[in-house]
Amino acid sequence: MFAIVDIAGFQEKVEEGATLRVPSISEKEGGTVTFNNVFLVAQSDSDIHIGTPTVSGASVEAKVLTHGRGEKIRVFKMKRRKRYRRDHGHRQGYTEIQITKIKTGASAA
């Protein structure tokens, strides 16, 4: 069983027990988060429910494991022959979550 769900503006394929790194969520570590924008729920190869645009009543629950910051990205700008150089770094924040339950909803059951 898997689902396609909108998490912080990104569509993710999730299964129960899966661990994902998603953009930062404002929930504390150890807390639970519910995502209600479920676009597709597949229970088997023949039992697939596609939303228009979302599956009504379906939701995905996840447990927040950790918060962190990704690898550093270097941003370098330069104009040749002008002595212009700018060097910046960026580290994107993320939240690591574990999918605990996929609810199919009344219409998908």
Give the domain ranges of the chain: 2-103
Flag whether pLDDT at 61 surpasses 50. yes
- Reported as a pLDDT band with limits 50, 70 and 90, residue 57 is very high
Residue 106: its pLDDT value, please? 54
What CA–CA distance (Å, rounded) separates 58 from 101? 11
Residue 109: its pLDDT value, please? 43
Which tens digit of pLDDT belongs to each residue from 67-99?
999 999 999 999 999 999 999 999 999 999 999
| Close Cβ partners of 7 (under 8 Å, ≥ 6 residues apart) | 20, 22, 23, 35
Which tens digit of pLDDT belongs to each residue from 13-45?
999 999 999 999 999 999 999 999 999 999 988
- Reported as a pLDDT band with limits 50, 70 and 90, residue 108 is very low
What CA–CA distance (Å, rounded) separates 40 from 2? 8
